Chain A
Amino acid sequence: MKIVVCVKYVPDATGDRGFNDDGTTDRESVDSLLSELDEYAIEQALKIVESGVEAEITYLTVGPDDAKDALRKALAMGGDNAIHVNDDDIAGTDALGTSLILAKAIERAGFDLVICGMASTDASMGVVPAMLAERLGVPQVTYLDEVTVEGTTVKGGGTVKGRREGDVATELIEAALPAVVSVTDRTGEARYPSFKGIMAAKKKNVEALDLDDLGIESDQVGLSAAWSIVDTATKRPPRAKGEVVEDEGEGGVQLAGFLAAKKFI
Chain B
Amino acid sequence: MLDHRLDDEYEQLRRTVAEFAKDVIAPAIGELYEKHEFPYAIVREMGRMGLFGLPFPEEYGGMGGDYLALGLVLEELARVDSSVAITLEAAVSLGAMPIHRFGTKEQKETWLPKLTSGEMLGAFGLTEPGGGSDAGATRTTARLDEATGEWVINGGKCFITNSGTDITGFVTVTAVTGTKGDGGKEISTIIVPAGTKGFTVASPYSKVGWNCSDTRELSFTDVRVPAENLLGERGRGYAQFLSILDEGRVAIAALATGLAQGCVDESVRYSGEREAFGRPIGANQAIAFKLADMEMRAHNSRLAWRHAASLLVHGERFKKEAALAKLYSSESAVDNARDATQIHGGYGFMNEYPVARFWRDAKILEIGEGTSEVQRMLIARELGLPR
Docked complex: A61-112 residues within 8 A CB-CB of B: 72-73, 76
Query: Among A192, A196, A197, A202, which residue has its beta carbon within 8 angstroms of that of B20?
Result: A192
Query: Among B19, B20, B48, B50, which residue has its beta carbon within 8 angstroms of that of A195?
Result: B50
Task: Give the distance in Å from the alpha carbon of A109 to the alpha carbon of B13 in the complex.
Answer: 30
> Which residues on A sit within 8 Å (CB–CB) of B58?
196
Docked complex: A196-222 residues within 8 A CB-CB of B: 196-199, 201-202
Residue of B nearest to A196 (CB): B63
Task: Give the distance in Å from the alpha carbon of A72 to the alpha carbon of B12 in the complex.
Answer: 9
Q: Is A191 an interface residue (CB 8 A)?
A: yes
Q: Is the CB of B13 within 8 A of A195?
A: yes
Residue of B nearest to A193 (CB): B16
Q: What secondary structure prevails in chain A residues at the interface with B?
A: helix
> Which residues on A sit within 8 Å (CB–CB) of B50?
194-197
Q: Is the CB of A191 within 8 A of B48?
A: yes
Q: Is B120 an interface residue (CB 8 A)?
A: no
Most buried by A among B9, B13, B54: B9
Most buried by B among A191, A193, A202: A193
Q: Is the CB of B12 within 8 A of A73?
A: yes
| B58-98 interface bits toward A, Cβ cutoff 8 Å, 1 = contact, 0 = none | 10000111000100000000000000000000000000000
Docked complex: A26-76 residues within 8 A CB-CB of B: 72-73, 76
Q: Is B49 an interface residue (CB 8 A)?
A: yes
Tell whether A198 pairs with B12 under 8 Å between CB atoms, given A192-B19, A192-B49.
yes
Q: Is the CB of A194 within 8 A of B12?
A: no
Most buried by B among A72, A194, A201, A202: A194
A-B Cβ contacts below 8 A, count:
42
Interface size on A, residues (CB 8 A): 14
Q: Is the CB of B65 within 8 A of A195?
A: yes
Task: Give the distance in Å from the alpha carbon of A195 to the alpha carbon of B45 in the complex.
Answer: 14
Task: Give the distance in Å from the alpha carbon of A52 to the alpha carbon of B9 in the complex.
Answer: 29
Q: Is B146 an interface residue (CB 8 A)?
A: no
Q: Is the CB of A195 within 8 A of B8?
A: no
Task: Give the distance in Å from the alpha carbon of A196 to the alpha carbon of B253 in the complex.
Answer: 24
Query: Chain B's nearest CB lies how many Å from the CB of A231?
Result: 34
Task: Give the distance in Å from the alpha carbon of A177 to the alpha carbon of B117 in the complex.
Answer: 37
Query: Chain A's nearest CB lies how many Å from the CB of B154?
Result: 41
Task: Give the distance in Å from the alpha carbon of A32 to the alpha carbon of B12 in the complex.
Answer: 14
> Which residues on B sit within 8 Å (CB–CB) of A72?
12
Task: Give the distance in Å from the alpha carbon of A194 to the alpha carbon of B46 in the complex.
Answer: 9
Query: Chain B's nearest CB lies how many Å from the CB of A77?
Result: 10
Query: Chain B's nearest CB lies how many Å from the CB of A200?
Result: 10
Query: Chain A's nearest CB lies how many Å from the CB of B244?
Result: 22
Query: Chain B's nearest CB lies how many Å from the CB of A107?
Result: 31
Residue of A nearest to B73 (CB): A195
Task: Give the distance in Å from the alpha carbon of A194 to the alpha carbon of B62 in the complex.
Answer: 11
Q: Is the CB of B8 within 8 A of A202?
A: yes
Task: Give the distance in Å from the alpha carbon of A76 to the alpha carbon of B9 in the complex.
Answer: 10
Task: Give the distance in Å from the alpha carbon of A193 to the alpha carbon of B19 in the complex.
Answer: 11
Task: Give the distance in Å from the alpha carbon of A201 to the alpha carbon of B54 in the complex.
Answer: 17
Query: Among A73, A191, A194, A202, which residue has its beta carbon within 8 angstroms of that of B63?
Result: A194
Query: Among B8, B19, B49, which residue has its beta carbon within 8 angstroms of that of A194?
Result: B49
Query: Chain B's nearest CB lies how many Å from the CB of A225?
Result: 35
Most buried by B among A73, A76, A192: A192
> Which residues on B sit within 8 Å (CB–CB) of A202?
8-9
> Which residues on B sit within 8 Å (CB–CB) of A198?
9, 12-13, 16
Task: Give the distance in Å from the alpha carbon of A195 to the alpha carbon of B13 in the complex.
Answer: 6
> Which residues on A sit within 8 Å (CB–CB) of B9?
195, 198-199, 201-202
> Which residues on B sit within 8 Å (CB–CB) of A191?
48-49
> Which residues on A sit within 8 Å (CB–CB) of B16?
76, 192-193, 198
Query: Chain B's nearest CB lies how many Å from the CB of A101?
Result: 27
> Which residues on A sit within 8 Å (CB–CB) of B64?
195-196, 199
Residues of B in contact with A (beta carbons under 8 Å apart): 8-9, 12-13, 16, 19-20, 45, 48-50, 54, 58, 63-65, 69
* Smallest CB-CB A-B distances: 5 pairs: A194-B50, A195-B63, A196-B63, A198-B9, A192-B49
A-B contacts besides A195-B69, A199-B63, A201-B9, 14 pairs, CB < 8 Å: A72-B12, A73-B12, A192-B16, A192-B48, A192-B49, A193-B12, A194-B49, A194-B50, A195-B54, A195-B64, A196-B50, A198-B12, A199-B64, A202-B9
